[in-house]
Amino acid sequence: MNIVIIGCGYIGMEAAAIWKKKGFHVTTTTRNPEKLDALSKVSQKSILLKGNDEDELMPLIADNDAIVVTIAADSPEHYESAYLNTSQILRHLALEMDMPRHLLYTSSSSVYGDHKGQWVDETSPLHAASDQGKILIETEKNYLSLEEIGWSPCILRLAEIYGPGRELSKRVKQFHGHILPGSGDHYTNMVHKQDCAGALDYALRHHLEGIFNLADDEHPTRRELYDAVALKFHLPKVKWDPTHTSLHTGNKRVSNHKIKAEGFAFHHPHRLLD
């Protein structure tokens, strides 16, 4: 199988390593020339993309059986370019080329917005109120519409990602001496880096189509989570200021039942405190 990972970063590199080890031919892309050396170690071919250019993306579709989009915007100002514009270009090329492919796209569970702490699944309404959330919703629609021309789109809505380099203990240490806005009573939805890559591999091998949430089994409040990390590493507890609005909006608990019903088993169903 020939696979291309467009916007290969934190999650994409983990998936690329899995597929290369299995003997698949993996092509990775990046806009950052400094990442090419690292990408060359997990893929047979690494390409520097200059931007959202149809001429650059066309051969990637033609030469690969699976298109994996794991782009991450550098900042909120880049959401439209990174997510929506890429989906529009890929859709336009798909319509022109008439070459059905399997497409995997890593979206975000932030599209659900605020559900007052209630459970959400893949059928729940999307209440994302921010411009960034609306862009992600439109991006999903573009990719799902490829089904009409014979493509097999699969969207993984990732919860907050943690893992090597993004350890929870490092986060709590960084908060020392600071007071966080909010009361810390919003539920957390997280997923380990290894499970993100594992789910991409599982979805590809089992030809999953449609939308699937990706979050672990545990949903402590942010205060409970940070207190547990502080206790384990003998750190001061994080302080909160309920008179200010929390940085973590969209209170909800993300269900992972659908992807588990398809047979996917999480490596880390329980939150790792590092």
pLDDT, tens digit (0-9, with 9 covering 90-100), for 37-78: 999 999 999 999 987 789 999 999 999 999 999 999 989 899
- Could you tell me the end-to-end alpha-carbon distance of the chain, in angstroms, rounded to an integer? 35
- SS3 category, 160: strand
Better pLDDT: 177 or 115: 115
CA 80-84-89 angle, to 5 degrees, is 125
pLDDT, tens digit (0-9, with 9 covering 90-100), for 235-269: 999 999 999 998 888 999 999 999 999 999 999 99
pLDDT at 72: 92
Over the chain, what is the mean pLDDT?
96
pLDDT, tens digit (0-9, with 9 covering 90-100), for 142-171: 999 999 999 999 999 999 999 999 999 999
Nearest to 7 by CA among 46, 64, 55, 61: 46
Assign 222 a pLDDT band (cuts: 50, 70, 90).
very high
Q: Are 111 and 136 in contact (CB under 8 A)?
A: yes
Q: Are 20 and 38 in contact (CB under 8 A)?
A: no
Q: What residue ranges define each of the domains in the chain, with the CATH number in brackets? A: 2-165+190-219+250-261 (3.40.50.720)
> Which pair of tokens denotes residue 70?
């794991």
Assign 230 a pLDDT band (cuts: 50, 70, 90).
very high
Determine the residue type at 210.
G
pLDDT at 51: 72
Distance, in Å, from the CA atom of 9 to the CA atom of 31, rounded to the nearest integer, reads 10
Q: Are 132 and 81 in contact (CB under 8 A)?
A: no
Assign 214 a pLDDT band (cuts: 50, 70, 90).
very high
Assign 34 a pLDDT band (cuts: 50, 70, 90).
very high
Q: Where are the alpha helices (DSSP H) in the chain?
A: 10-21, 36-40, 54-63, 79, 86-97, 131-144, 168-174, 193-205, 222-232, 257-261
pLDDT at 259: 98
DSSP per residue over 171-189, as a string? HHHHTTT-EEEB-S-SBP-
pLDDT, tens digit (0-9, with 9 covering 90-100), for 194-213: 999 999 999 999 999 999 99
- SS3 category, 264: coil
